[in-house]
Structure formats: C-alpha cells, structure tokens
C-alpha cells in the first residue's frame, strides 16, 4: 500500500501581499453577489459527533457542497463570481451594483452584449462556468482532459456549452482555452490557475470560493462551540486551499486554525514545493492519473501558492486509497451521524484524518499536528457523486481498498 507522505511547512515567508485577496471585505462582496441568485442557499455542515468520538477528536464537521446550486459541487461559486466581476469591470461598475436580476436583464444585453467564456476543467469548474454563462445569457466553451468520464462531459453539454475532450492533461487544456480566448472576439478565459499577466480573474474565483469558507466558519462556530482548531482542505492548483487558508487567516488573525493542505499523490505540486523548501513553486508533469480528478493539476496558482507558503502548517500527498476510505466512511457513518455523499475529490480529508487518528504508521503526524480530544476539526466535501458509477464501485464494491 502506497503510504501518505507529509511535510511540515518550513518555507521562508514572502511579503504576503496576496493575503489581501481573501480579505473579509472581498469575501463579503462575493457572498452578497451569490445571495442574489434565486438558486442560492447555505449548504449543510454535517456535525459528525459520533465519528469525532470514534476517532478521539473533540469535534468533526464536514461542509457538504453536494447541495450547491443543484450542481453537486462547490466550483460554481468561483466561476459565477468571476463572470460577474468581469462584466462589472467592462461596464465600469462596482460588483456591489451587479446582481443576478441585473445580469439576466434586457438592460445588460443592451449595455454589455454577449461574451464567450473559455475554460479547462475535469468537470466541476467547467459545469459551474457553463451554468453561470447560461443563466446570464452568455456563451461558454469548455475543454476537458483525456480520461474524462462521459457523465461529466454530458453535464456540461446540458448547460449549452461547447465541450471537447482533448488528448492532453488538464494543464495543457488550460493553455488551449487561453489561446482560443485570446483569438476570439469578446473571448474571456475563466481559470483558477493564475500566471504572470493573468491574475484578476483567478483572484475573483478565489473570492467566490470564500462564500463557502464564510458559511462554514459561521456554521462551525455554532455547531462546535468555537472556531476550528484544525482545517484540512484539498488542492489541485491550490485556489480553493488558498481561498480557505486566506479567509480563515483574515477571520481569525490572532489564533488561526492549523491548516493541512492535501493533494493527490499523482499531482502533488504543492507538496513538492514544500519539500523543496525554498519558497519557489514546483510543477508535476505527465498524465496525473488519479481517481481524484478534481485535484489532477500539476501547475500551482501563483497567488494561492504565496498565501499557502506563508500560512499553511502542513502539506500531505495522498494516494487514491485515502480518498476511497473517506468516501466509504462518510457514506456509511457512525450511527446517529448524518450521511455525506462525497465524491473522489471531496472525501480525501475524511480519509486522511481517519488514517492519522487510527493508524500507528502516522503517529508522528498526529503528534506534529497535536490532534487530540480537544481538537475541533473542519473538513470540506467539495463534491458529491459527480461520477455515480465510480462512486458505487468504490463505496459498494470496495475499489481502492487501503489493504
């Protein structure tokens, strides 16, 4: 069995300018924008008291994003806010003046017209961009990497987007989408991977993710009787991880929770950067083959990396069995706990925390994290069963067992 790899963050600090992206004010603007959508509702926070007791923790709560806007994943928060911010900028208006009613109005069509939003995706982000574009009477073009399952393709196509599956990995799809956007009249790339010269929209996407972090923090304080002491958040390019880390750092500046960032071992670019230890980013190339398709990204977001290197406590590189274990545990919970249907990219936190608390092989990580009966732990289940066939194969049939 391939082991979990981990490292404590000892990288040198930068000037931390990117932390301001996730200021409380910026996240509040995104939250107000999302609340204007008729589809908006606060997604549940599952308070797993039975599981916490079983693992020896004080509290364990899981933010369940399978209910987000009816799209079975959190990603729509980023894409929708980025599109809203882009349109507001083109019109010379503040996002506070731009809400769902205005974006879907005849007035907007006359003032703005129609743009084409390009993106690359494993499924969830592209579906969110396509959904938002359709809701706002815009166009979307989505490119997906090789190995994409049919149902994720179909879900995007149902939103009216132009969709292709390319014979390249995710990072190469990003480059295809960016090139096509640059060659298209009124074409816009909507990607959470930042690079030099492309930083505004990735920042808007991170702020959109802040809605989820804001909801979770408020719910957790009520459910657990205080702020989280430990947060485990998954990463692909790192935008979600940077958004959560950045928001929590700003919300709890005097006593922030200890954050562990988790990646699929086949695409662990952030872990590799932390392992290098000098503060520079690392890239991971190749097919990036993992069941955690939403985390199969080998090139970090530069803005998010800066936040993570300054504030994240630990980085973990997780084989597929970790996520599969988490899927089964959340799907068949301790009696009395709520069931959480969590997909491959959503359940890695549950799998990692259970391994840390129950497997003597990770006793040193447990000690380093200081996880014990006083610890209050927050996890994010970022997607539901977005690939139902594989979900059943893992949860029902025991695929990717840990032993």
Is the domain of 124 the same as that of 50?
A: no
Is the domain of 50 the same as that of 93?
A: no
Q: Is 122 a catalytic residue?
A: yes
Q: Quick one: pLDDT at residue 403? A: 64
pLDDT, tens only, 41-73: 999 999 999 999 999 999 999 999 999 999 999
State the Cα–Cα distance between residues 55 and 59, nearest whole angstrom.
10
Task: Please tell me what DSSP assigns to residue 186.
Answer: T
- Could you say which of 146, 172, 198 is where a domain stops? 198
pLDDT, tens only, 348-362: 999 999 999 999 999
Is the domain of 249 the same as that of 338?
A: yes
Q: How many domains does the chain have?
A: 2
State the Cα–Cα distance between residues 142 and 121, nearest whole angstrom.
7
Q: Quick one: pLDDT at residue 19? A: 98
- Bridge partner residues of 142 (DSSP): 119, 163
pLDDT over threshold 90, residue 287: no
Q: Find the helix or strand (DSSP H, E) in which 45 lies.
A: strand 45-47
Which phi and psi (to 5°) does residue 7 adopt?
-150, 140
Mean pLDDT of 129-143: 94
Q: Is 387 a catalytic residue?
A: no
Q: Write out the DSSP string of 51-108.
A: HHHHHT-SEEEEEEGGGGGGTTBSTHHHHHHHHHHHHHHHTT--GGG--HHHHTSHHH
pLDDT over threshold 90, residue 34: yes
The answer to the question of residue 400 being in a domain is: no
Exposure string for 97-107, b = 16+ CB within 10 A, e = fewer: ebbbebbeeee
Mean pLDDT of 288-309: 95
Mean pLDDT of 158-182: 95
- Select which of 63, 64, 122, 320 is catalytic: 122
* Residue 370: count of CB within 10 angstroms of its CB: 11
pLDDT, tens only, 225-242: 999 999 999 999 999 999
Instruction: Report the phi/psi class of residue 44: left, alpha or beta, with left for phi > 0 and alpha for psi in -120 to 50.
Output: beta
pLDDT, tens only, 206-223: 999 999 999 999 999 999
Which phi and psi (to 5°) does residue 261 adopt?
-100, 130
189 or 122, greater pLDDT:
189
Is the domain of 252 the same as that of 344?
A: yes
- Select which of 63, 64, 75, 366 is catalytic: 75
Contact by Cβ (8 Å): 155, 123: yes
Is the domain of 123 the same as that of 154?
A: yes
3-class state of residue 292 by DSSP = coil
CATH of the domain at 119: 3.40.50.1100
State the Cα–Cα distance between residues 57 and 7, nearest whole angstrom.
22
The answer to the question of residue 267 being in a domain is: yes
pTM to 2 decimal places: 0.96
- Could you say which of 198, 223, 246 is where a domain stops? 198
State the Cα–Cα distance between residues 306 and 334, nearest whole angstrom.
38
Pick from 193, 104, 186, 190: nearest CA to 142: 190
Is the domain of 213 the same as that of 349?
A: yes
Return the HEC string of 51-66.
HHHHHCCCEEEEEEHH
196 or 58, greater pLDDT:
58
- Could you say which of 198, 226, 252 is where a domain stops? 198
pLDDT over threshold 70, residue 298: yes
Contact by Cβ (8 Å): 323, 292: yes
Tell me the CA distances in angstroms from 329 to 43, 57, 206, one per residue in order.
Answer: 20, 16, 29
The answer to the question of residue 88 being in a domain is: yes
């Amino acid at each position: 069995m391939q082991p979990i790899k981990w490292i404590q963050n000892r990288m040198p600090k930068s000037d931390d300018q990117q932390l301001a992206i996730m200021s409380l004010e910026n996240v509040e603007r995104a939250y107000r924008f999302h609340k204007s959508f008729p589809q908006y509702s606060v997604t549940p926070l599952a308070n797993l008291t039975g599981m916490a007791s079983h693992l020896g923790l004080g509290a364990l709560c899981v933010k369940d994003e399978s209910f987000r806007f009816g799209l079975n994943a959190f990603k729509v928060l980023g894409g929708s806010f980025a599109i809203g911010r882009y349109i507001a900028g083109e019109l010379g208006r503040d996002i506070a003046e731009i809400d769902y009613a205005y974006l879907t109005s005849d007035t907007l069509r006359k003032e703005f017209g129609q743009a084409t939003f390009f993106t690359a995706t494993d499924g969830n982000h592209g579906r969110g961009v396509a959904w938002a574009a359709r809701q706002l009477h815009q166009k979307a073009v989505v490119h997906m990497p090789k190995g994409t399952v049919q149902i994720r393709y179909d879900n995007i196509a149902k939103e009216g987007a132009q969709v292709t599956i390319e014979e390249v990995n995710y990072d190469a799809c990003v480059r295809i989408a960016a090139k096509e956007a640059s060659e298209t009249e009124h074409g816009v790339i909507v990607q959470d991977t930042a690079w030099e010269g492309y930083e505004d929209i990735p920042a808007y996407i991170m702020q959109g993710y802040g809605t989820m972090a804001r909801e979770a923090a408020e719910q957790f304080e009520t459910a657990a009787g205080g702020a989280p002491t430990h947060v485990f958040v998954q990463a692909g390019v790192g935008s979600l991880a940077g958004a959560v880390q950045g928001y929590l750092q700003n919300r709890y500046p005097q006593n922030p929770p200890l954050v562990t960032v988790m990646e699929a071992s086949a695409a662990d670019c952030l872990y590799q950067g932390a392992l290098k230890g000098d503060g520079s980013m690392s890239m991971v190339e190749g097919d990036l083959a993992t069941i955690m398709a939403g985390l199969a990204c080998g090139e970090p977001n530069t803005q998010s990396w800066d936040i993570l290197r300054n504030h994240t406590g630990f980085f973990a590189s997780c084989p597929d069995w970790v996520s599969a274990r988490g899927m089964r545990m959340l799907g068949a919970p301790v009696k009395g706990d709520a069931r959480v249907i969590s997909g491959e990219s959503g359940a890695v936190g549950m799998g990692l925390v259970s391994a840390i608390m129950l497997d003597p092989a990770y006793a040193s990580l447990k000690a380093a994290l200081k996880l014990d009966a006083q610890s209050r732990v927050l996890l994010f289940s970022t997607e539901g069963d977005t690939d139902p066939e594989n979900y059943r194969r893992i949860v029902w049939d025991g695929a990717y067992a840990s032993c």
